[in-house]
Amino acid sequence: PPGRKVLIVYAHQEPKSLNGSLKRVAVEELSKQGCSVMVSDLYAMQFEPRATRNDIVGCLHNSEEFNYGVETREAYKRGDLSDDVIEEQKKVQEADLLIFQFPLYWFSMPAIMKGWMDRVLVQGFAHEFPNCYDSGLLKNKLALFSFTTGGSKEMYAKGGISGDIRYLLWPMQHGIMHFCGVKVLAPHICFAPEYVSEKERKKMLVAWAQRLKTLWKEEPINCSPEWYFK
């Protein structure tokens, strides 16, 4: 719907890749709906994935012993996080929907995207115990993980060699997004694009565009272990 804000966090090195095309389709389709779309193209931005002392500007809360979690929480309160982190937090704050677009690496997201999670979702900004899971600080937002795999759909079935694809989503969707209060839409998975024809890849893009047309009508998944492990 017009006026909705979307942040696409995108991790692929090549714009001509299927991931690049999926990102482009999302920007086009959502913009057409009147949404305002922001893209964090992590490789193009040369986003720093490492959580270090450099993320805190000025003096440390405890200069005797460095504790990243504590220091970033305190720096967030003071407004003393590094500019690149503040910039991403602003985008998250504004967004109604977060789309993560990436190729699956080793059953997980690429390091540059994991680094985005590590550095951006600071305590006090995204969660603050006991305010986590359903009471996480980013409630009223939606997230969607859209990714490509190397393995086929059969490999990622319950009885397949890689196990149910949903097992891999538990740390990403539940441990990160749901922990921060974000509601999660069903993932969008393009299985083994490298092993299919150009025609099949085109179909994948069409299917994504179709889904985006009615995305705002979708109900989030049931945020419980059952969805992943039943």
Q: Structural domains in the chain? A: 5-229 (3.40.50.360)
What is the reported pLDDT for 72?
Answer: 98
Task: Give the pLDDT band (50/70/90) at residue 1.
Answer: confident
Q: How confident is the model at residue 46 (pLDDT cuts 50, 70, 90)?
A: very high
Residue 151 · residue 111 · CB < 8 Å: no
Q: Strand pairing of 188-190 and 142-148?
A: parallel
112 CB burial (10 A radius; 0-12, 13-18, 19+) = buried
What is this structure's pTM? 0.97
Q: What gap in Å lies between CA 219 and CA 210, rounded to an integer?
A: 16
Q: 212: pLDDT confidence band, cut at 50, 70 and 90?
A: very high
Q: Which two tokens stand for residue 113?
A: 């995207």
Taking a C-beta distance cutoff of 8 angstroms, is the pair 78, 125 a contact?
Answer: no
Compute the distance between CA of residue 154 and CA of residue 63 in angstroms, rounded to an integer.
Answer: 52
Question: What's the rounded mean pLDDT across residues 153-157?
Answer: 96
- pLDDT of 186 over the 90 cut: yes
* Beta partners for residue 81, in sequence order: 56
CA dist., res. 167 & res. 190, Å (int) = 17
Whole-angstrom distance, CA of residue 142 vs CA of residue 128 = 19
Does residue 130 have a cis peptide bond before it, meaning omega lies within 30 degrees of 0? yes
pLDDT of residue 177: 98
Mean pLDDT computed over 149-174: 97
- Residues whose CB falls within 8 Å of the CB of residue 28, separated by 6 or more in sequence, listed in order: 209
Residues 161 and 116 sit within 8 Å (Cβ to Cβ): no
Instruction: Give ∠ CA 185-3-1 in degrees, rounded to 5.
Output: 55
Average pLDDT on 185-214 reads 97
Mean pLDDT rounded to a whole number for the chain: 97
Residues 48, 49, 52, 56: is their CA dihedral positive or negative? positive
The predicted pLDDT at position 126 comes to 98
pLDDT for 210: 98
* Mean per-residue pLDDT, 45-62: 97
Query: Taking the mean position of all CA atoms in its chain, how far away is CA 63?
Result: 33
The Cα–Cα gap between 77 and 11 comes to 29
pLDDT of residue 2: 80
Which band of pLDDT confidence, cut at 50, 70 and 90, is reported for residue 132? Answer: very high
The percent of residues in the chain predicted with pLDDT above 70, rounded, is 100
One-letter amino acid at 149 equals T
